[in-house]
Amino acid sequence: MLASQGAQLAAAQQLPFTSLSPDEVAEIEALTSQIIPSTGSPGAREAGVIYFIDKALATFDKDKRDLYRKGLADVEETRRRLFAGSRSIAALTSDQQISLLAAIEKTEFFEALRTHTVMGFLANPEYGGNRNRAGWKHIGFENSHHFAPPFGYYDREENR
């Protein structure tokens, strides 16, 4: 089985994660769902961004596993400090999650998480995210093997 087929199966059938624990999945998915929320259209959760992140940490970005583990531990500590008595990031309200993200937005972990979230939302679905082409639909991208050139200044009659 090709890696791309495995990623598609994981996203479609929700196969087990290879890099992230169930607790990490819940916490990271809660954060990604605030980065690209589901307000009027599918967001990171519906696009299966968490599967992209899991695959990234198992393959091309495996060197970022420690960054995610340490970063998530730091975020958990920030959550406990900001929202004493809370159980988890996923259990916070949407407004609390946004406040938590604002508190960590200058960290290396947040930068990696935001980058992976956007990549997973817009990447080719064969890489594990962009389920049902949700990201592509959101931006109006049509996956076609034939693209028309953009027309403008360079192809005007007087410029030939």
The residue type at 117: T
Query: CA 48, CA 151: separation in Å to the nearest integer?
Result: 35
Report the number of distinct structural domains present in the chain.
1
**pTM of whole model > 0.85?**
no
**SS3 call for 49:** helix
Which residue type does 115 have? T
With a CB cutoff of 8 Å and minimum separation 6, the contacts of 145 are none
pLDDT tens per residue, range 90-99: 999 999 999 9
Domain with 111 in it: 3-159
Instruction: Let me know if 56 is exposed, middle or buried by CB neighbors in 10 A (0-12, 13-18, 19+).
Output: buried
- Residue 114: burial class (beta carbons within 10 Å; 0-12, 13-18, 19+): middle
pLDDT band at 124 (very low <50, low <70, confident <90, very high): confident
Angle between helices 49-58 and 108-122 (to 10 degrees): 110
C-alpha distance from residue 37 to each of 24, 30, 118 (Å):
19, 10, 12
Phi then psi dihedrals of residue 155, to 5 deg:
-110, 10
Write out pLDDT tens, residues 17-75: 999 999 999 999 999 999 999 988 899 999 999 999 999 999 999 999 999 999 999 99
Rounded mean pLDDT of 132-152?
75
